[in-house]
A = this chain, B = another copy of it.
């Protein structure tokens, strides 16, 4: 590079002809694949440890989106196999609608290719980047192409393709394409090999568990480097896929409006009613009137000034918020509670789905839940579960608006300790669903700080905090009651003895009275929504070893925990569990059924047990 280094500073004689031209020769266009290959950390591929979680997440997001779109209950297989020291193969197979063979290379081999970018509705993937980035990462770290099998229905053949990405152009390269025999009638399978490590295995399993909590209609079967596990459904109801809506007049920027009008042949009134959501005749007339533009003027003929007036009028008009019910798919309070209960067996749980709200014209819904006790650790700060559009957020907790909002709540008001985050055996779940979740980075790890969203999260948490406070107060009261009962029971025998002595009668057996007051060991059975649950609470001060019998017309063989013995006699099953229950502990099992039949407990003094069947 010709540069005059000898001229005194401040009096540079400028070598203009050379330098500007020389610089110009170096200037060129960069493909988006080159960009993301170099900046792979922006997409969550910063390290081999994280790469595996990101890849699994992208593939499962796609599988769930596809199944949802088809209205089927997702049945997903995930396989992770170590091929060499640090080379892993990840396989994800779904029962979605499949991808037509001509589009497969683009879906997996081109970044920024997809169907959901321009649709205003909630979905996991949106940009058409994620899975192609995984393919890019695979070819970067191993040089290996990615295999995709897909089939679009029983009457169509399945295709198997080997794909890689031409990084310089961001175009797919098809290495092979074959029609094959495949036992699935519809669905997609991807096999991808990359440099990785299973150091973060615990986090990977956590990701799968969390996914299962907020997608209770999903079953994921997992083979993880020799181990197998299943995350089963908590609900048999497929999700109704959200529908795309039109843009909201309050969410449109002037430049965007300019493009929309330039591309339209409609007159103003029609343009407003047809092009935007929540704009009916009345709203259209209001906008037209305050804009000072004729209702029948073709919008493509508007000059910059007219456009400015139209934009101002649209912003000022009184338009109802976007139709969130249609384009968003919240999980719902009941399913959130079921999902959390399944994982943590909580003493208390409460959930809220907030009404829809809007930021920058994008509708969103915040859902939150608080759980207390159960299997949660009683020490340390609360466990936080963050979700956006039903996807768990696994990284950058500190940078997330959800965390900021949790910190901003004064938890002490609700009787809970706080060190920044609240403390105790507490779990906090927050789900942000939106047509456009504002992530802090393209790796989708954290929700950006948007005041409207933070406000909704805070309101939901405060509301739940009040529920929790009530629970904790009631629990403290019932502890008091129990202590009083204990005190009474401890003097009943003495009173009985004294009274007997005074009346010169034999000392009566007081234990039934004590039993009534103390309810020493309580077995309960109840059935809700086809799930029979049996619990045994040990209120004694000692561990007990007992046998639980259940005679029922339901099949308890799949109970969790399973019985040690099951016998079928005609239509009846007879099941046996052998239990050791520590003092003040509760044991539970669950199986599918109608709850007919009876239970009983052996191995403990008759007077020290109470059996309650809530199904009778």
Contacts and interface: CB of A to CB of B under 8 A. Distances in A.
A113 B30 contact: yes
A530 interface: no
A176 to B, nearest CB: 15
A72 B11 CA distance: 9
A439 B38 CA distance: 12
Given A35-B112, A113-B27, A256 B140 contact: yes
A10 interface: yes
Interface stretch (A15-23, A316-324, A339-347, A561-569): A15-23
Interface stretch (A1-9, A223-231, A591-599): A1-9
Interface in A107-126: 107, 110, 112-115, 117, 119
A371 interface: no
Interface in A21-55: 21, 23-24, 26-32, 34-35, 38-39, 41-42, 46
A143 interface: yes
A238 B31 contact: no
A23 B71 contact: no
A70 interface: yes
Contacts of A152: 16-17, 19-21
B114 A70 contact: no
Interface in A438-470: 438-442, 448
A154 interface: yes
B143 A103 contact: no
A42 B43 CA distance: 12
A4 B253 contact: no
Interface string A154-193: 1110000000000100000000000000000110000000
Contacts of A31: 112
Contacts of A241: 3
Chain A contact residues, majority secondary structure:
loop
A20 to B, nearest CB: 4
Contact of A141 (B144, B195, B253): B253
Interface in A298-337: 304, 307-308
Nearest to A259: B167
A32 B442 contact: no
Interface string A423-442: 00000000000001011111
A571 B134 CA distance: 73
Contacts of A195: 254
Nearest to A436: B38
A154 B142 CA distance: 52
B14 A255 contact: no
A152 B143 CA distance: 44
A29 B71 contact: no
A15 B29 CA distance: 43
A123 to B, nearest CB: 12
Contact of A442 (B12, B42, B98, B307): B42
Contact of A23 (B14, B69, B128, B153): B69
Contact of A399 (B32, B236, B253, B398): B398
Interface in A571-594: none
A258 interface: yes
A408 interface: no
Contacts of A21: 100, 152
Given A24-B103, A100-B24, A113-B29, A41 B448 contact: yes
Contacts of A100: 20-21, 24
B9 A237 contact: yes
A363 interface: no
Given A39-B442, A69-B19, A114 B27 contact: yes
A52 to B, nearest CB: 16
Given A70-B14, A97-B23, A115 B28 contact: yes
A396 interface: yes
A106 interface: yes
Interface string A238-275: 10010000000000011111110000000000000000
Contacts of A98: 16, 20
Interface string A274-289: 0000000000000000
B23 A115 contact: yes
A139 interface: yes
Contacts of A26: 115, 119
A558 interface: no
B27 A255 contact: no
B27 A139 contact: no
Nearest to A240: B5
What are the nearest 5 A-B pairs in CB distance?
A: A16-B153, A20-B152, A140-B255, A26-B115, A441-B441
